[in-house]
Structure 1
Amino acid sequence: MSELEQEIAEQLEINRETVEALLEDGSDADAEYTLEHHFASDNFDRLEKLAVDAFKKGFEVTDAEELELEEGGMLICCDVIAKSPLNIEKIDQQTQEMFALAEKHDVHYDGWGTYFIE
């Protein structure tokens, strides 16, 4: 298994754990959720190309932000926003699409987050 395949497998497991935790905590199973897929790079141009590509695919993209690392250096980060029910198959499909975008543009995909909905 390649390093990328291992990362994807780990993220798919995290997807299941996240969805299960939200549902166990009482989050609305039928709501539409805003998923924030996180990307980072030390190269603004690559991240910008990813953002344009994601926008062309119909996703909303947040403005890039600089993040100073503890060891020095900077990362540029942005989120690609998607709407989805807490449907693991759809979230897994989005996750794989995000990994493909990250690989295409040589940036780091750092998973996704969302918010509890009552």
Structure 2
Amino acid sequence: MNNEELASWYEFNQETIQALIEDGSDISQPHIIEHHLASQNFDVLEKAAVDAFKAGFEVTDAEELVLDDGGTVFCFDAVVEKKLNIDEFNKDTDKLLQIAEKHKVHYDGWGTYYVGEDAIEYGDD
């Protein structure tokens, strides 16, 4: 992992948190954060999932996705619930990038759900 790539992820973290704040997401409340990791090799991805679990993340079951080009990839989410604190996000990014680099899997960033009075409850139809 080079410094430029790491700085790019930190910038992504800051911009995404800022967008959530601007959209009115309640920053005083914890958010469910889903970090995405993927690989074409299921066995390698499984080892990365074990390391993510050991690092304190809840790990979803791996899914197989068909890509636009017809290829397939396996992916899982490393999930954590926390407030929108940039320092904590950068630490989590560091951990997951190290795991991705160790196992040669792809780290694809993170996403979350809007939290506020008008938010749809997670799992609602």
**Percent identity over the alignment?**
53
Count of residue pairs brought into register by the alignment: 116
1:14 equivalent in structure 2:
12
Q: TM-score, normalised by structure 2?
A: 0.88
SS at match of 1:26: coil
Give the alignment's TM-score, normalised by structure 1. 0.93
Task: Specify the SS of the correspondent of 1:63.
Answer: coil
Give the one of 54, 57, 68 matched to 1:56.
54
Structure 2 alignment gaps of length 5 or more: 117-125
Mind listing any 5+ residue stretches in structure 1 that lack a counterpart?
none
**Cα distance in structure 1, aligned partners of 2:37 and 2:24:** 29
Q: Could you tell me which residue of structure 2 aligns to residue 80 of structure 1? A: 78
**Corresponding position: 1:68 with 2:66:** yes
Contact map agreement 2:32 2:112 (CA 8 A) in 1: yes
Q: Which moved more, 1:36-45 or 1:4-13?
A: 4-13
Q: CA RMSD in A?
A: 1.2
Larger helix percent: 1
For 2:89, the aligned partner's letter is: I
